[in-house]
Structure 1
Amino acid sequence: MSDARLQAIVRAHPLLSAVLDRFAAVGLPDAWLVAGAVAQGVWNAATGRAPTYGLKDIDIVYFDGADLSAETEAMHEARLRALFADLAVKLDVKNEARVHLWYADAFGNGLEPYRSSEDAIGTFPTTATSIGIRPQGDALGLCAPFGVDDLLAGVVRPNKRQVTQAVYEKKVARWRALWPELTYIPWDQTQPPSTT
């Protein structure tokens, strides 16, 4: 992980660090701890709130193109919920290889199949939440297609690669009530972020 500040926040977070300490037991291909739990941990550290303030769940994604069944995904989620049963938070586990099978029913627009977990992370609704972490040797590996500047600066900017305006604005409304200190970029005032 390139940013020492981000690594320090994650390591000090009681839930994120507990998941990462046992990540080898996750045992899923191309697995990452992703999205809101990471971003919200950073926002809480920046605003002086408790690490778990506002946290609805912890998301773990993986990529298994050889098994696209909902049953297998549910089995992995049940296994990981048991593994992390001591943590006081809901765990959400998704196989990014099968998202295209249900996405249109859930959100109204279809999408092309992802090529990897990293590809999926690059479509998450904001630049700050388009982030994944996992252990990598003695440090943390980082997947941050848009970098970590928005995340560390408390900027919520839409990632228009896939998300709709309605989904983005719903997230912003929830987050604004919890973290009013953040800078929220309106949907119509931003261009699609460039990947660097």
Structure 2
Amino acid sequence: MTIKNEEDIVRIIREDEWMMSLIRIVKTLNLPDCWICAGFIRSKIWDVLHNFGIRTPIPDIDVIYFDSINMDESEEKKIEEYLKSLMPTIPWSVKNQARMHVINNLPPYISSVDGISKFPETATALGVKLDQKNNVILAAPWGVKDVINFEVKPTPYFLESTELENIYDTRVVKKNWDSIWKKVKVYNIIS
């Protein structure tokens, strides 16, 4: 199967009942500016493009939202516990993007998609949610070319400082994606 664009990505997500069930559950939370992101989408794309018959396990399902009123980390943990009560076999990870800029020492984010744009890799800077009419919406602030072409590159924000470059390089070595998906090409910043 080929994936050429965002429409193809939306189609493979819509056709995946497991993914859709998680997206529907997350929508019921009614969190502001809420998305499932990162490896949830990237891994699906790479699995399809590698013709894997079995889904590659991912360490967590990243749920993000943007609430500048209640930025207490304990609220994220409550949401995680609630999701685990609904689907206990899913490794939920919930993060409010209104406070996550602090982790990377960046200026405050203005939305969840702004937070996604500051993820370390362009191939992982992806989000998905359902709109009011239950249409699948894909956020890809850096486009989908890199993920479709199996290219792991830093987002522009991770090219801005040596500290962020080190985070990116350490992360891609630890993730070792090219050992799972053989077509993946990882670009290191620091030689």
TM norm structure 1: 0.82
Residues 1:144 and 2:144 aligned together: no
**Distance of 2:44 and 2:91 partners within structure 1:** 15
Residues 1:129 and 2:132 aligned together: no
What amino acid is the match of 2:130? P
**Distance of 1:117 and 1:51 partners within structure 2:** 30
CA contact (8 A) 2:123 2:147 kept: yes
Matched residue, 1:39 = 42
Which runs of no fewer than 5 residues in structure 2 stay unpaired? none
CA contact (8 A) 2:123 2:151 kept: yes
- Residue 93 of structure 1: SS of its match in structure 2? strand
Q: Where in structure 1 do 4 or more consecutive aligned residues deviate above 4 Å? A: none
Deviations 1:161-180 (A, max 9, x none): 04723332233332122222
Which runs of no fewer than 5 residues in structure 1 stay unpaired? 104-108, 190-196
What amino acid is the match of 1:159? T
Map of 1:157-196 to 2, 5 A cutoff? 157-162=153-158, 164-173=164-173, 174-187=176-189
Matched residue, 1:5 = 8
What amino acid is the match of 1:134? K
1:14 CA drift (Å) = 4.5
The more displaced of 164-173 and 90-99 is 164-173
CA contact (8 A) 2:38 2:125 kept: yes
What amino acid is the match of 1:52? R
1:76 CA drift (Å) = 1.4
Matched residue, 1:84 = 87
CA contact (8 A) 2:27 2:34 kept: no
Identity of aligned residues (%): 28
Matched residue, 1:56 = 59
1:188 CA drift (Å) = 5.2
**Count of matched residue pairs:** 180
RMSD over aligned Cα, in angstroms? Answer: 2.1
Matched residue, 2:111 = 116
CA contact (8 A) 1:155 1:185 kept: yes
**Distance of 1:171 and 1:49 partners within structure 2:** 24
Question: Using a 3 Å threshold, how does the CA distance of structure 1 residues 30 and 117 change in structure 2: closer, same or farther?
Answer: same
TM norm structure 2: 0.84
- Residue 22 of structure 1: SS of its match in structure 2? helix
CA contact (8 A) 1:45 1:51 kept: no
Question: Using a 3 Å threshold, how does the CA distance of structure 1 residues 14 and 56 change in structure 2: closer, same or farther?
Answer: farther
**Distance of 1:38 and 1:130 partners within structure 2:** 9
1:72 CA drift (Å) = 1.4
